[in-house]
Amino acid sequence: MERSGALIRDAEAVVVGAGALGASIAFHLAKAGSRRIALIDKHDLASQTSPRAAGLTAQVRKTDLMTRLAMMAVRKIERFEAETDEPLVYHQSGSMKIARTPEHHEQLKREVARGQRLGLGIDLVSPAEARRLMPFLDPVGAQGITYTPSDLYLEPVQIPLGYARAAARLGATVTPNTAVTGIVTKNGGVTGVITDQGEIQTPVVVDAAGAWTRLVAQMANGRIPVVPTRHQLLITEPIDGVSTAQPIVRVIDSNVYVRPEKGGLMLGGYEPDPIQYDTAALPAGFQIKDLVLDIGVLRRLAGTVVAQFPILREFKVREHRGGLPTMTADGRHIVGPVPGIRGFFVASGCCVGGLSISPAVGEVLAEWILTGKPPMDLTFLAPERFGVEYHLEEKLQAQCRWQYAHQYSAP
Ligand SMILES: Cc1cc2nc3c(=O)[nH]c(=O)nc-3n(C[C@H](O)[C@H](O)[C@H](O)COP(=O)(O)OP(=O)(O)OC[C@H]3O[C@@H](n4cnc5c(N)ncnc54)[C@H](O)[C@@H]3O)c2cc1C
C-alpha cells in the first residue's frame, strides 16, 4: 500500500473508517486535489462489513433521488478501473424482481415507470423470458417480473481496497490499525482528532465508521440515529448449470435475493425479526469476524422461495458470512454535514446498500466538503431530517426493524 503507515499531524480532512464509504470519500477528496487527506481505520483496511457484502446493485430505489444516485454509482462502477487504476471484477448480468402478490405487482409497475422516467433500462418481462434468463427460476406464482439489464454484481472487497489504494497514490495517508478515540472541537467546529497513535489537527472529520458510526459521532457530541443490524448470506456448493451471466433475482414478499457465485448460488435475505446491536455494548476489540451467525435464518428464508427455486429444496453450504450494516428509520442513507458541529460530516445508514452506492456517495460528499454545497439536492439524506422522537431508542429500533423486514417493499 503506497503512502500508508505513519500518521500525519495535520490534515485537510480526516476520514474515519476505511470501508467502502470512507475509502470512496477519501479517494474522491484526493482526486479533487486535496493533498493532505488522512484515511484511518482501527482494523485492517476493508476488513469489516464491506468485504462480506453480496455485491449487488439495485438501481431502482424508493425515491427518484435515491434512484439517480444508484444509477450514478453503476456508471462509476463501470468506469472504476479507468478512474482508479485498480482491478474490479463485476458481472453486468442484470437483475430481476418478482412480485407474488397483486400489491407488489403494482409496486413493480411503479418501479418501471420511475426507472424509465429517469432513463434507466427496466421493463416487465414474461415468465418465459425470466426463465430463459435464469434457468433455475420457476416463475410459478409470479404476478409480475421486472428486468433491469444494467444491474450488476461485483467482488465486494475490491471497492474499498481499490479506493484506499488509489487514494494513497494520489497522496492520501492511509493508516490501518489505528483507532480514532476522540474528536476535538472548539467554538462549535472540529479542530482535530485523537488517535491511539497521536493527534491530527484538521478542520474536517468524516464519520464513515459503519457499525461504529454512533460511537464516533458521540466523540463530537453528535447523534446519528442508525441501528447496526445483522445481515447474512450463504453460498452453495457448485451446481451444474450455474453461470456468471445469470441475473440477480429478488423476491419481494420474502425479501430474498439469489445470484450466481463461485459456481453455486448465493442466497441472502431479510428476516422479519433481525438482531440489532449496540456496538457500545460489544467487547472491546470486537470485529465483524466475531459476529455470531445463524444459518437457520437463511435456511428458513430459502424455504420461502423453493417454489421459485426448486434447486434450493436441498443444498450444501460452501460459505456463510454476515456483517453489521446500519439501518435508518426511513430506509434512506445518512449523508452530509452534522448540524451544530462545523466541519463534521457523516456517511452511514447504509441500509444494506452502502457498498454499491459508495462510488456515488464518495463523489457527492467530497464535492460538498470541498465546495460547501452538494452537486445535487441531497436534503433527503440529511442527518437533521430525524426529529427528537428518534432519540427514543425503542422507537428508533422499531422503525429500523420494520425497514429491514420490508427491504424490498417499503414505500
Ligand atoms: C451479508 C451482507 C450482504 C450485503 N449485500 C450488499 C449488497 O448486495 N449491496 C450493497 O450495496 N451493500 C450490501 N451490504 C451492505 C454493505 O456491506 C454496507 O452497506 C457497506 O459495507 C457499508 O460500508 P461502511 O464503509 O459503512 O462500513 P464498514 O465496511 O464496516 O467500514 C467501517 C470501518 O470503520 C472502521 N472504524 C469504526 N470505528 C472506528 C474508529 N473509532 N477509528 C477508526 N476506524 C473505525 C471499522 O474498522 C471499519 O473498517 C451487505 C452487507 C452484508 C453484511
pLDDT tens sequence across 83-92:
999 999 999 9
Q: 56 in ligand 1 pocket by Cβ < 6 Å?
A: yes
Q: Which three cell numbers stand for residue 46?
A: 476493508
Amino acid identity for residue 317 in this structure: V
Task: Classify residue 225 by its DSSP letter.
Answer: -
The answer for residues whose C-beta is within 8 angstroms of residue 284's C-beta and 6 or more apart is none
For atom 12 of ligand 1, which residue has the closest CA?
Answer: 353
Element (H, E) at 270: none
Whether residue 150 contacts residue 115, with contact meaning beta carbons closer than 8 Å, is answered with: no
pLDDT at 3 over 80: no
Q: 269 in ligand 1 pocket by Cβ < 6 Å?
A: no
Q: 50 in ligand 1 pocket by Cβ < 6 Å?
A: yes
Give the Cα-Cα-Cα angle 139, 143, 146 (nearest 5 degrees): 75
If you measure from the C-alpha of residue 17 to the centroid of ligand 1, how many angstroms do you get, rounded to a whole number?
9
Whether residue 262 contacts residue 228, with contact meaning beta carbons closer than 8 Å, is answered with: no
Q: What pLDDT does residue 62 have?
A: 87
Q: Which atom of ligand 1 is nearest to the CA of 21?
A: 25
Q: What average pLDDT does the segment 76-99 reach?
A: 98
Q: What pLDDT does residue 410 have?
A: 72
If you measure from the C-alpha of residue 263 to the centroid of ligand 1, how many angstroms do you get, rounded to a whole number?
26
If you measure from the C-alpha of residue 268 to the centroid of ligand 1, how many angstroms do you get, rounded to a whole number?
16
Q: 231 in ligand 1 pocket by Cβ < 6 Å?
A: yes
Structural domains of the chain, with CATH? 13-52+157-227+329-405 (3.50.50.60), 91-150+229-322 (3.30.9.10)
pLDDT at 362 over 80: yes
Q: Which three cell numbers stand for residue 218?
A: 458521540
If you measure from the C-alpha of residue 288 to the centroid of ligand 1, how many angstroms do you get, rounded to a whole number?
9
Q: What average pLDDT does the segment 355-364 reach?
A: 98
The answer for residues whose C-beta is within 8 angstroms of residue 240's C-beta and 6 or more apart is none
CA 247 distance to own-chain centroid: 20
pLDDT digits (tens, 9 = 90+) for 208-228: 999 999 999 999 999 999 999
For atom 21 of ligand 1, which residue has the closest CA?
Answer: 50
Nearest CA to 357 out of 113, 214, 154, 169 is that of 154
Phi-psi region of 204 (alpha: psi -120 to 50; beta: other; left: phi over 0): beta
Share of the chain above pLDDT 90, in %: 95
Q: What pLDDT does residue 406 have?
A: 97
List 38's β-bridge partners, or say none: 14, 173
For residue 244, name the pLDDT band (cuts at 50, 70, 90). very high
